[in-house]
A and B are shown apart, each in its own frame.
Chain A
Amino acid sequence: MKRKSIWLNAFIGVMLLTTVAFGFDFTRLEKSISEHTLDNGLKIIVMERHDAPVASFVTFVNVGGVDDPKEYSGMAHMFEHMAFKGTTTLGTTDLDAELKAMAVEDSIWALLRVERKKGLLADSVKLAELEKAFDEAIEAANQYVVDNAFDHILEREGGVGINAGTGKDQTSYIISLPSNKLELWMAMESERFINPVLRQMYRERDVIGEERRQTLENNPIMRTIDAMASTAYSAHPYGIPIVGHMSDIMNYNRKTAAEFYAKYYIPSNMILSIVGDVKPKQVFKLAEKYWGKIPSGPRPEPIATIEPPQKGEKTVSLSDPAQPFFAVAYHVPQATHPDWPVIEAIADYLGSGRTSLLYKNLVKEKKIAANVGVFAGWPGSKYPCLAIAYAMPATGHTNEECQEQIFAEIERLKEELIPEEEVDKIKARAKAGFVNGLRSNLGMAGQLAYYENAWGSWREMFRELDRINSVTPEDIQRVAKTYFTEENRTVARLNTIEG
């Protein structure tokens, strides 16, 4: 036993030397990346990679759940759905007739909405008539629709992974295509943001309602995390779920969606990121052709609301027939803050992998939890956000037992300076994680766009390791003492009740 641990230390010494001597030339990668900005402010990033005749495409829009208008939580997400509904030329059999039918839908909805909001005082006969008329109007508009025509072309031409994602900070539209379909993508993607038609919107509200039920309401752990965020935030919209509240979802209308689109989907607020078997020159030329004519506009301002400092522990409990779940969240700064790499290092050291403090204590040794984890950047990271530690108690063990041990490990971070070699391991993991992150075209395209948006330059992606490498044991202690405090935390528990 003794011999082995000495050997282990000797090995780590050798390992650090090899890490320093790491031979791969990352500047080669950096040099394979080009950028170009159109006159209207649209930024295009291209990374050449010719291993296979394919490419991945990301349209990154600097808009997310934080930008949702009041009474329309989830609107950013809604618009993401609507961006697949086609254009003035795609998805319709008769545009004029369709637009008229859509206008009927909108007008009836405007009346129905007013009547519904009267609540108990609503005229039930009128309400029923309006409901029926609304349904008929939806069906009437639907008859001109070619369902999912936008997807159809991309899929027919070999597109895979056609999807989009909305976060609290951003919206991304993604696809991979055979690389000879570059121009198809340029034409289709520009078209859907230049000439969108918000067709089938009122049915799509129902789809999103089902999405909310499926991903949030039917998932006890996600509900707990959601309750934790809404408890932790009293002012900032990070406390509102990305998918929105059910009543807000059912409140969406075309006018609000169109205004939202007009404000945020403008060239200066968007980034195109392409990685694969493409030539930058050709990409920039086509970008100019298809995207160049979009009028420019001022980049929307970040939101003004700042979450005030938390002045004492908050707790929230949910009751459900599901098994127990424990989580604790601490307010931490945004990802561009100088303390961020330290927070990432703490998350890694505390809760990532089998050698992390929490896994060793709660899972391996005490066996009071089946699983644990720590992550920073919930529910976004553009604004000051949350670092979360969680545990899934083992059968026969409780949230309280897990809470006690999680708090004890966090206290230890403040009391004891962590060994230098542990910090070296954190850095080694960051490096390996970085290299693994370079593997997929799509992952790379997403990261380049993210760094460009968050930091103002995609090159910052390659500086990430430098920032992590500057973290010291003293930094970890200081940051733990600053943010991981009792008054700054929100505790969430899912308590089991009889079903």
Chain B
Amino acid sequence: MKTTKLMSTIVLGAFLLTLMVAGAWAQDIDKLKFPRLNKLEIPKVDKVTLDNGMKLYFLEDKSLPLFNVRVRMNVGGYLDPFDKVGLASICGTTMRTGGTKKWTGDEIDELLEGIGGSVEIGIDNISGSAGINVLSDYTDLALEILSEVLRHPVFDQDKIDLAKMQERSAISRRNDDPGGIALREWRKLVYGSDSPYARHTEYASIEAITRDDLVGFHKRYVAPENIQMAIIGDFDRKAVTELINKYFADWQRSGVPVPPLPEVNYEWRSKVYYIEKPEAAQSYIRIGHLGGLVTDPDYTAKIVMNSILGGGFGSRLTDAVRTKMGLAYSVGGRYISNMAYPGYFFAVGSTGPENTVKAAREMIKQIRSMQTDLPTEEEMQKGKDGYLNSFVFNFDTRAEVVNRMMTYDFYGLPEDFLQKEKEGVEQVTPEAVLEAARRNLHPDSMIVLVVGNGEAFDEPLEALGLGPVDTIDITIPPAEEESEVVISPESLERGKGLLDQAVTSAGGLENLKKVVSIKRVGTMTIVMGPQEMPVSVTSIEVLPDKRRQEMNVMGRNILSIRNGDVGWNTNPMTGELTEFTTEDIAKDNKEIARNLINILANADNPYYQAVYDGVGELGDKAVEWLAIVGDDGETICHLALDASDHSLVGRKYWGETMSGEGILEEQMVEFSIFSGVRLPIKTVVTMGGQKITQLDIKECTINGDIPADTFDKPTQ
């Protein structure tokens, strides 16, 4: 009714006419006749294999004075140990930045950036790559740098630290981008969160990676038999062959076989997952399931199917969700066929929160339509003719021709794979597309993932009718977690050796075992933000489990006594004396267990295991870490030994402070010798780089007289 009334008020806009300049100019596109396409000269690649197994692919291109190398390495993040995810990637980065036998990383930066060139290395999940891009005048230098970084990296610790810092930063930023969250979590839903095809770095996995790990990874896998190298550009074939022989021919094989890629175990299911991102201006939606391989029999039908379903304008997803409904700027999807391991099928779109369920429904509807609606003539033109007419773009740059050849070679695909693919697409019929959709798409068994602000959704996600919704928590696990200590025959042997050195540096087992009691008097400085508060401290210990500690805090005497199975504390707030609970005793037992003299004097006690735990830093000192592990397998604490002379320089342990739990690092700054035992007299404790306390010992007496009532229950 109302509409009709409004209709009567309509005036045809004159401005429309301004757009309609003489219609006679309109060209009848379909009448155009196109000349034959000029002959395509498919560039000839010259393949050579060196005696050490390195495969070379030469392709000259004199059109510009540039020299390029593309390297494919048969390594990948899938080889990372489960607790050191990121190892391969950091190895790739630091091979380039961490310097070589001949140059430091900084010198390589200067050499390359002084000529506007680049040599880069990267290792992803399933393969590694390296490359050169320089003006052809610098061919020799660039090849020498490439050979140095591939063959002789020295993994400078400072550049490892830099790479780790950058990776930590990436971890901290990974939830800033909703689209990034959606892709990352999607891969985990498809392949499993521990799968090498989906897993990602965490603070702990980065922290666990040591220089030795990088050296070992490089030595095992970055070897000539795992390398294919394409040389492209403006070069003299004879001269460049000589250079390659000079820099690579004497590179010895590693001989270590590269483990194969793992299988994918996909659990077919219909399930909705939700990730909360309250500040998101848009919801990111991903829908789909496991995909396939390029060797699947209906691979070419799926190429056409992909174009029709989600390949840009003219595809069903774009036309419906974007063009007709205006719900999204980016929407699309396809069935991914990989060479190495099964890809996945997905539709993706991002829309305002108020249209989330509406858009998801429409995406599912379009996926379903692929199994019911035979492709139209226009759709077949888009999918087939589009593919065939643009086929020439597979050959328009030299780099893609030779890259493709390397990849086919690696995966054992025939050299004419692409030609066969084209012939396959030529044969695809609308019925074949429908059949491929029916066989490969499973709309009744799909995963739906939505990242966004659920409170603003048009409807609850349950309304999709795909069952209950699982919420995924993407909180980033905090940095300060104790990493697992790896106990192996090697780490135990090395640990024992280091503990012996620590014992020796502390005065020897004989002297340590003589220690019965210690009395210490000194000052403890407590740091609270910008404030420092000095407190006088007296402590008396009779090993192993008797202790009395007195502190004077702002005129109040704070007492803590432990006597075997019992103990008492002064509450610093009320001044009242309270008896230790069972919990307090358990906590205090940990303190006793990590008592320095207890540990050192028990070096020959099978109760303790000393496990080497890699190199690291304490303050600004390079140290080697020694984990002290109890017979229950729990780590009691770590001792830090100076990396150069293996003397004891500190401890670290999981502990509690006024600002919460975390790893406490104790740096032993000054030492003195008492009764033949070398003990720290100045220690600084930090947590997360922040100083918490400092202890300065003024007096220390070993085995002095201890009054009999020292550890009795104090009278109020």
Contact = CB atoms under 8 A, between A and B. Distances in A.
Interface of A: 4, 8, 11-12, 15, 18-19, 22-24, 49-54, 84, 87-90, 99-100, 102-104, 106-108, 111, 129-130, 132-133, 136, 142, 147-148, 151-153, 155-160, 162, 176, 178-181, 183-184, 187-188, 190-191, 194-198, 200, 203-211, 213-215, 217-220, 254-255, 258-259, 261-262, 277, 290, 293, 320-323, 353-355, 363-364, 367, 370-371, 392-396, 425, 428-433, 435-436, 438-441, 499
Interface stretch (B170-178, B293-301, B650-658): B170-178
Contacts of A133: 2-3, 6
Given A8-B107, A322-B173, A428-B114, A218 B280 contact: yes
Contacts of B133: 436
A215 B281 CA distance: 10
A498 to B, nearest CB: 11
B106 A158 contact: no
Given A213-B352, A425-B113, A207 B322 contact: yes
Interface stretch (B33-41, B210-218, B222-230): B33-41
Interface in B27-67: 27-29, 32, 34-41, 63-66
A4 B104 CA distance: 9
Interface in B283-331: 312-314, 318-319, 322-330
B390 A187 contact: no
B120 to A, nearest CB: 11
12 contacts: A4-B103, A22-B65, A50-B38, A148-B319, A151-B313, A176-B393, A183-B34, A195-B23, A218-B179, A392-B169, A428-B115, A439-B66
Contact of A152 (B12, B116, B329, B381): B381
B396 A428 contact: no
Contacts of B176: 220, 321-323
Given A183-B32, A353-B109, A394 B168 contact: yes
A187 B32 contact: yes
Contacts of A364: 106, 162
A72 B390 CA distance: 38
Contacts of A184: 29, 32, 34
A52 B40 contact: yes
Contacts of B390: 158-160, 178
A197 B6 CA distance: 24
Q: Which of B40, B116, B281, B312 has the most CB of A within 10 A?
A: B116
A428 B391 CA distance: 37
B392 A217 contact: no
A53 B386 contact: no
Given A254-B15, A436-B133, A148 B313 contact: yes
Q: Which of B318, B327, B378, B390 has the most CB of A within 10 A?
A: B390
A497 to B, nearest CB: 10
Q: Which of B32, B66, B318, B323 has the most CB of A within 10 A?
A: B323
A184 B191 CA distance: 45
Nearest to B379: A152
B38 A179 contact: yes
A107 B35 contact: no
B351 interface: yes
Contacts of B329: 207-208, 210-211, 213-215
B542 interface: no
B620 to A, nearest CB: 12
A214 B282 contact: yes
A258 B15 contact: yes
Given A53-B392, A155-B386, A183-B32, A89 B39 contact: no
B134 interface: yes
A396 B37 contact: no
Contact of A210 (B166, B327, B396): B327
A254 B16 contact: yes
Nearest to B134: A432
A11 B112 CA distance: 11
A430 B116 contact: yes
B371 interface: no
A107 B3 CA distance: 12
Contact of A432 (B115, B162, B326, B385): B115
Contacts of A162: 312-313
A213 B135 CA distance: 42
A188 B29 CA distance: 8
A142 B35 CA distance: 36
Contact of B166 (A353, A370, A499): A370
A363 B162 contact: yes
A4 B177 CA distance: 44
A148 B135 contact: no
A428 B116 CA distance: 6
Contacts of B393: 54, 158, 160, 176
B314 A155 contact: yes
B392 A52 contact: yes
Interface string B180-215: 000000000000000000000000000000000000
B314 A367 contact: no
B352 A436 contact: no
Q: Which of A104, A107, A195, A214 has the most CB of B within 10 A?
A: A214
Contacts of A84: 313
B352 A209 contact: yes
B239 to A, nearest CB: 15
Interface string B410-446: 0000000000000000000000000000000000000
Contact of A107 (B11, B113, B168): B11
A153 B18 contact: no
B137 interface: yes
Contacts of B330: 214
Interface in B317-348: 318-319, 322-330
A106 B13 contact: yes
A206 B354 CA distance: 13
A213 B282 contact: yes
Contacts of A436: 66, 133
A136 B313 CA distance: 24
B256 interface: no
A258 B395 contact: no
B115 A15 contact: yes
Given A162-B313, A219-B177, 5 more contacts: A162-B312, A218-B179, A354-B113, A395-B169, A499-B278
Given A129-B2, A147-B314, A203 B162 contact: no
B21 interface: yes
Contacts of A198: 19
Interface in B552-599: none
Nearest to B28: A89
A216 to B, nearest CB: 8
B382 interface: yes
A158 B389 CA distance: 4
B683 interface: no
A261 B117 CA distance: 44
B330 to A, nearest CB: 6
B536 to A, nearest CB: 33
B20 interface: yes
A178 B392 contact: yes
Contact of B162 (A322, A367, A429): A367
A210 B137 CA distance: 48
Given A52-B395, A395-B168, A432-B116, A151 B314 contact: yes
Contacts of A438: 64
Interface string B81-106: 00000000000000001000001101
A191 to B, nearest CB: 6
Nearest to A353: B113
Contacts of B179: 214, 218
A321 B37 CA distance: 55
Nearest to A133: B3
B313 A180 contact: no
A148 B111 contact: no
B129 to A, nearest CB: 18
B606 interface: no
A370 B176 CA distance: 15
Given A88-B20, A147-B314, A197-B19, A152 B165 contact: no
